[in-house]
Amino acid sequence: MNGKTVYIVEDEQDISGLVALHLRKSGFIAIEFQSSQNFFNFLKNQIPDLVILDLMLPDADGLEICKYLKASPDYQSIPVIILTARSDESDKILGLELGADDYVTKPFSPRELVARVKSVLRRHSVEHTIVSIGGILVVDTQKYEIHVKNKKIHLTTTEFNILKILLSKKGWVFSREKILELLWHGEKAVIDRTIDVHIKKLREKLGEADKFIKNVRGIGYKIEE
Ligand code: CA
């Protein structure tokens, strides 16, 4: 669970500070946003693993933000936990209808919220172990199995892990440095070209499904339908 990024969108700094503190204690990277504008500016550059969203913000309605995220192809897979005041029973229902993954009623215990974050992420990772791309490429990231047009393909661990990294954020461009860092956690000094070699082999094995792996010139690689 360590190293997962959680965005906290909450204008009340006492609350967001306390939540951030407890998340960090549990090994999360917590980033606080006091306004929806800052949040959206940041979101464009980095997609978090989860968003904690207060419904009452000075510059936006949290429900609208939730609705927007859950309707956007880029953001809909980010789990959202909404924070709501006790009286807002209808907000809670509406939030869940709009696709929020859970809600916590104020006042709440930060520990309970952290427990909810963990539970939502656990549920989310189980639901998302099987990924289908373009209807022909199916990847089971838990069983380390991959099928192209129902035919099982054998990949090396490194090839599979590269595919898994690319799949973790579809449409997202990963630089060679980033892929190396995620593969070996900066432990191995491997030159950039190694990634190109692995990806070349990976593409050959994928056959027809190789079209989903795209080389973004001068930057890196991404997976896209
Ligand atoms: Ca608020």
Q: Looking at mean pLDDT, say which of 42-51, 84-93, 190-199 comes out highest.
A: 42-51
Percent residues over pLDDT 70 in the chain? 92
Span 120-163, pLDDT tens digits = 998 887 666 788 888 899 998 877 889 999 899 999 888 998 99
Integer CA distances (angstroms), 106 to 12, 23, 83, 114, 117, in order: 12, 17, 7, 14, 16
CA of 10 to the centre of ligand 1 (A): 6
- pLDDT at position 190 is 59
Domains in the chain (CATH in brackets) are 5-124 (3.40.50.2300), 130-223 (1.10.10.10)
Put simply, whether the predicted model's pTM sits higher than 0.85 gets the answer no
Q: How confident is residue 6, by pLDDT bands cut at 50, 70 and 90?
A: very high
Task: Assign 222 to helix, strand or coil.
Answer: strand
9 by Cβ neighbours in 10 Å (0-12 / 13-18 / 19+) ranks as: buried
CA distance 8 to 18: 11
CA of 15 to the centre of ligand 1 (A): 9
CA of 54 to the centre of ligand 1 (A): 6
Joined together, the tokens standing for residue 66 give 């939730």
CA of 52 to the centre of ligand 1 (A): 12
CA of 143 to the centre of ligand 1 (A): 42
Neighbours of 208 (CB within 10 A): 11
